[in-house]
Amino acid sequence: MPNPWRAKAGNRVIRHLPISLYSNDTSGNLSKKWNKHISYYFNLAGLPPKLTNQHFHCHFLCTSNSAGTLELAEGIVDDIMELIEHGCPAYDSGLGKEVLVTMSLLCFLADTPMHAEITSTVMPNNARNPCRARDLGVKRAAQKRSMAYLQFFLQVSANGVWIKNGIRSWVSIIANCYQLWEVSKGLRTKTLVTKLGGELGIKDSINKQIYSHVYDIRAKGANATAANRSFTERIESLDETNQPRLFNSFFRVPVTPDNPLPDFNVCTDTPVEVLHVFLLGVVKYLVLDLMGRMKPTQLAIIEGRYRAFNTASLNIPSLSPYYMAKHSSNYVGKEFKVVLQSAPFVLFEFMGEDDRLAWIALVQLAPLVFQTHIEDMDAYLTLLRFHIQKFLFYLFKITGQWVNKPKFHMLLHLPDSIERFGPAPLFCTETFESFTPC
């Protein structure tokens, strides 16, 4: 059989452009409520590293202060599907002629809450299934306090051997969301649906909004309005004629006959993002834990040490000593980078031996996390995994309560993301983040 793309190209050269998609919501606050909105951006994933994070290669797609993440995604997925299945003509200035452009969705970049929404999984913080990438879960919340769960969380066997949990199935997530929808059609199933969703660790925000509204309409009984009845009739019609519209749009990424797995797999294609998981997660937790124990006299000494700290040999901006000492709860990414580089000279004196060992492991890990050029991937990944495991060993030796912070578990998946997509700075979101505040 001839390749169908030969007919689609019509003697034109085919250019394949993988993209990285990104979405974020502004934080919103009481003084700027009107600025809270969802935005989508993308960049070309095949660009050289020195160009990937340039502002002029970050392309805006859409924004809304009323539509949700998955509502906006519907139109984006439609366009992605069109380009995947048919492509579009474009002029190639290098060749000096028209080419056919097709694409694939290489990865989806976001923070943890946005990744949870895109993957139709639950928010990890207090969830019984806190990991979107690999199997990690318990039947009851009380089981998270057990040694077995701690070993599961750290990916350590009962005899102390480092292991990998099984990869979570995107196909199963999709099937479970459809199962939950079928259950919700029954009468008096609201409690059952909530319980089942928690057990399965899934939450399709589009579908949940629909069946929650249907439950509210059912509760009205004979008092339901004409608009209510019209809504339920439309949902029933869509359920029969176009059921995928009732679910996460990313479920519709095609499945090829020779490969039963989706082209875009959210369990593996939502990489561990170092800004939110490492700097605003792991490092932030340790900084707040340490600085929260400091007395006013110790903070004054820390301020003096920051004033005396020489930044000439470091790639960091000038310090604000008073801010660094007194406002650790307001740090952003750049301040956490400063702490990582200055901690041995400024903070180590105020730590106990166990804390110091954990911090030493952390500052040794940080340069590997932000490595921009990797000569030998196998050797690098071995070293990275060793330092992650070393850091977690010293950290959890202090207290097992860190098990309540899923980002420590996600750190274990960073080597897998780097092996799949390259150095972590290639899939960082700091450039996109600069577009979102308004």
Q: What is the pLDDT of residues 263-290, one digit of tens each?
A: 788 889 999 999 999 999 999 999 999 9
pLDDT score, position 24 = 87
Q: Which residues pair with 103 in a beta bridge?
A: 17
Question: 359-374: per-residue pLDDT in tens?
Answer: 999 999 999 999 988 9
pLDDT at residue 53, as a whole number: 72
Q: What is the pTM of this model?
A: 0.90
Q: How far is it, in rounded angstroms, from Cα 270 to Cα 347?
A: 34
**In the structure, what pLDDT confidence band is assigned to residue 18 with cuts at 50, 70 and 90?**
very high
Q: Between 319 and 117, whose confidence is greater?
A: 117
pLDDT category at 258 given cuts 50, 70, 90 is: very low
Interatomic CA distance for residues 298 and 295, integer angstroms: 5
CA dihedral 81, 82, 83, 85 (to 10 degrees): 80
Report d(CA 304, CA 346) in Å as an integer.
9
CB atoms within 10 A of CB 72: 20
257 — pLDDT class (breaks 50, 70, 90): very low
Per-residue model confidence as pLDDT tens digits over 374-389 = 999 999 999 999 999 9
Over residues 107-119, the pLDDT tens digits come to: 999 999 999 999 9
Q: For the chain, give the secondary structure using H, E and C.
A: CCCHHHHHHCCCEEEEEEEEEEEEECCCCCCCHHHCCEEEEEEECCCCHHHHCCHHHCEEEEEECCCCHHHHHHHHHHHHHHHHHCCEEEEECCCCEEEEEEEEEEEEECCHHHHHHHCCECCCCCCCCCCCCECCCCCCHHHHHCHHHHHHHHCECCCCCECCCCECCHHHHHHHHHHHHHHHCCCCCHHHHHHHHHHHCECCHHHHHHHHHHHHHHHHHHHCCHHHHHHHHHHHHHHHHCHHHHCCHHHHCCCECCECCCCCCCCCCCCCCHHHHHHHHHHHHHHHHHHCCCCHHHHHHHHHHHHHCCCCCCCCCCCCHHHHHHCHHHCCHHHHHHHHHHHHHHCHHHCCHHHHHHHHHHHHHHHHHCCCCCCCHHHHHHHHHHHHHHHHHHHHHHCHHHHHCHHHHHHHHHHHHHHHHCCHHHHCCHHHHCCCCC
Confidence grade of residue 27 (pLDDT, cut at 50, 70, 90): low
pLDDT band at 434 (very low <50, low <70, confident <90, very high): low
Q: Could you tell me the two tokens for 241? A: 């004629």
**pLDDT tens digits for range 79-116:** 999 998 899 999 999 999 999 999 889 999 999 999 99
Instruction: For residue 168, give every residue at least 6 positions away whose Cβ sits within 8 Å of its Cβ, in sequence order, or none.
Output: 131, 132, 133, 134, 135, 267
What's the CA dihedral at 408, 414, 415, 416 to 10 degrees? Answer: 120
Instruction: Supply the pLDDT for residue 262.
Output: 55
- Distance in angstroms (rounded) separating the CA atoms of residues 129 and 139: 9
- Find the DSSP H helices in 347-405: 353-369, 377-398
Task: Provide CB contacts within 8 A for 324, sequence distance 6+.
Answer: 302, 303, 306, 335, 338, 339
Q: pLDDT band at residue 254, thresholds of 50, 70 and 90?
A: low
Nearest to 81 by CA among 243, 253, 246, 244: 253
DSSP-derived 3-state class of residue 267: coil
Which pLDDT score is estimated for 70?
93
Residue 94, token pair as written in the block: 């290098």
Condensed to tens digits (0 to 9), the pLDDT of residues 104-157 reads 899 999 999 999 999 999 999 888 999 999 999 898 888 988 999 999 999 999
Indicate the average pLDDT of the chain: 89
Chain segment 192-243, per-residue pLDDT in tens: 999 999 999 999 999 999 999 999 999 998 899 999 999 999 999 999 999 9
pLDDT for the residue numbered 50: 78
Look at strands 97-109 and 88-92 and give their pairing: antiparallel
pLDDT at 211: 94
- β-strand partners of 75: none
Average pLDDT over residues 180-189: 92
Q: What is the bridge-based pairing of β-strands 59-64 and 97-109?
A: unpaired
CA–CA separation, 360 vs 365, rounded Å? 9
| Spatial separation of the C-alpha atoms in residues 35 and 196, rounded to whole Å | 35
- Give the separation between CA 342 and CA 363, rounded to whole angstroms: 9
Decide if pLDDT at 435 tops 70. no
